[in-house]
Amino acid sequence: MASPAFLIEHIGQRIVRQKRMNVWGVFLPLIAVAALASRILFLAFSLPPLLVFSPVFLFCGLMIIALWRAKNSIGRAGIATLIDEKTNSQERFLTLVTVPSAQPPSPFITLLQRQAAEQAIMFHPEQAVPFKLEKKALLAIVGSGLCILALLFFPILPTVAPQASVSQLEIQPRDLEKLEEFARTLMRQGTTTEERTTGAQLLALTEQLKDPALSVEEKRHLIKEAQQRMNLPLPQIFPFDLQLFANKSKNDKGEGNENEQSPSEGQSPAKSEQNPDQLGQSPADASGNEPQPGSQKDGQKKEQSKPQESGGGIKFNLPQPQSGEKRDRTDQETPGQQQKSSQEPSPNSQAPGTDPNRPGGQTGQNQDPEKSGQIPQPQQTGREEKGKGSTVGSGKGERFLKPGEQPGGFLTKDARFVKVRIPASTDPQGRGDTLTENYDRAQPKTPYSNAPLKDAPPDHAQLKQPIPLEYRAILQK
């Protein structure tokens, strides 16, 4: 015959073990999911490890608290109540547990212990307190399993995992050959100046990557630099998705200056919103020369090349300030800089050899490439001649092109928007570059309408109804 005290102790331990098992069942899958998600985030964004893995630490802390509470949550009275319920003991165990500590010893206690022991025979701990997972633990396990599967096969991984694995990749000679072949394809006859420039840069990059003395990290750095210059996502350059360039090249050749490249073709959306800084660094010169900081023509070229990359947008821009400087839509420039950005630039503001009216419009032919900090391009001279030839052969020289005009005409086909910058001279305050559209301007509280306002008490300060737009011009006269 089991002693009631022993039974209560045994059941207490069993309940604690069962509760702990459920705590493990709830928290371990969550911790696994959190760890996996944190690792992915850590590899993808290089965030501080403490921040990324904080959910894991949080779940671990909660699990420790839950384990501690599982130990202390169940008291002897609770266990006694459970046994009473299971054995229909009519609170014998509860009385046995609580009365001795509350009252002086009674002769009835012995009798009660005997009765409780008789009842304890009918109690089976395996049936009363089975080791089984609660519903919340099962849900946590199933949910976590689904989350792990989703994390492993979610579309975020193809973008994250390759970036994480690129650093581990060795550059294969086959890839270099593909890249070189692709660069030469870009530089052949009939391609645009931008393609030729890109091809030249890719060719230079290929030559550099062939150097066996360079380490993987150095090669990686070179690729990153090239990517920054060309403003292309890294995976598209090397060693992946070379096919995309080929497709783009075919499209450009087939459609002239039309640019119908959609984001699905591998063009990242960010590409259409190129940063002027990056544009300033990109060698958009048709002659293949290195971009010259502060060059007026360089700014024009950038603006001309922009619509091609943005997939249909056309921007009529005034001549921009020096390309090496940061230009923001809302930045404030000095009057001297504003003068430089006017449409009729003064000759003093032009770098030698950067006059757009000069035949060929070539810039920086005598410049040392190393001064500009760019990668040396071994086939530069040859490409210059080819570029000149192709420009002349297209019918209208570049020097005769108007701002925003390409050799194939104005890029108006499939244009989705037109961005017009007001010349500085028309700005009443003479701040052409800072005159931008204010989309956050305050809206009138009273709607424009001809309807009379509602009646209000005489003392009430009534809102003055603004003049409808269509009558403003008349009334102002």
Partner 1 sequence: MTPPEERVKEFRRLFAALEEEVSRVIVGHRNAVRKVLTAFFAGGHVLIEGVPGLGKTLMVKSLSQALGLSFKRIQFTPDLMPSDIVGTQVLSDGAGKRDFEFKRGPIFANIVLADEVNRATPKTQSAILEAMEEQQVTVFGETYTLDSPFFVLATQNPIEIEGTYPLPEAQLDRFFFKLLVHPPNSIELTEILARTTAGARYQIKQILPTDRAHTLVEDMKTLVREVLLAPPLSAYIARLIAAATPGSDQSVVSEVTQYFRYGPGPRGAQAITLGAKVNALLDNRVNVSFDDITDVTLPALRHRCLLNFQAEAENVTADLIVGMILQKVAKKY
What is the contact surface with partner 1 in residues (CB under 8 A)? 77-78, 80-81, 90-92, 94-96, 98-99, 102-103, 106-112, 115
Q: Are 345 and 448 in contact (CB under 8 A)?
A: no
Backbone φ/ψ region at 91: left (φ over 0), alpha (ψ -120 to 50), beta: left
Report the residue number, 45 or 108, with the smaller CB distance to partner 1: 108
Q: 78 vs 324, which CB is nearer to partner 1?
A: 78
Residue 89 or residue 379: which is nearer to partner 1 going by CB?
Answer: 89
Shortest Cβ 11–partner 1 spacing (Å):
15
Of 122 and 392, which has the nearer Cβ to partner 1?
122
Distance CA(476)–CA(218), nearest Å, equals 68
Q: How far is the CB of 140 from partner 1 (least distance, A)?
A: 28
Peptide bond into 444 cis (omega under 30): no
Which of 222, 258, 223 lies closest to 242, judged by CA? 223
C-alpha angle with apex 214: 366 to 376, nearest 5 degrees?
10
CB of 111 to partner 1, least distance (A): 5
Shortest Å distance, C-beta 90 to partner 1: 4
Nearer to partner 1, 89 or 191 (CB): 89
- Per DSSP bridges, beta strands 314-316 and 418-420 are parallel
CA atoms of 75 and 8, how far apart (whole Å): 10
Phi/psi at 406 (nearest 5 deg)? Answer: -105, 165
Tokens of 475: 């009334």
List the beta strands (DSSP E) in 355-470: 405-406, 409-410, 418-420
Query: Which residues does 464 contact at the CB level (< 8 Å), separation at least 6?
Result: 446
Cα separation, 302 vs 275, in Å, equals 11
Question: Which ranges constitute the DSSP H helices of 167-260?
Answer: 173-187, 193-209, 216-230, 234-237, 242-255
The minimum distance between CB 101 and partner 1, in angstroms, equals 9
Distance (Å, whole) CA 185 – CA 107: 105
| Rounded Cα–Cα distance for residues 89 and 337 (Å) | 94
Closest CB to partner 1 among residues 118, 207: 118
* CB closer to partner 1, 3 vs 172: 3
- When the beta carbons of 99 and 138 are compared against partner 1, the nearer one is 99
Least separation in angstroms between residue 107's CB and partner 1 is: 5
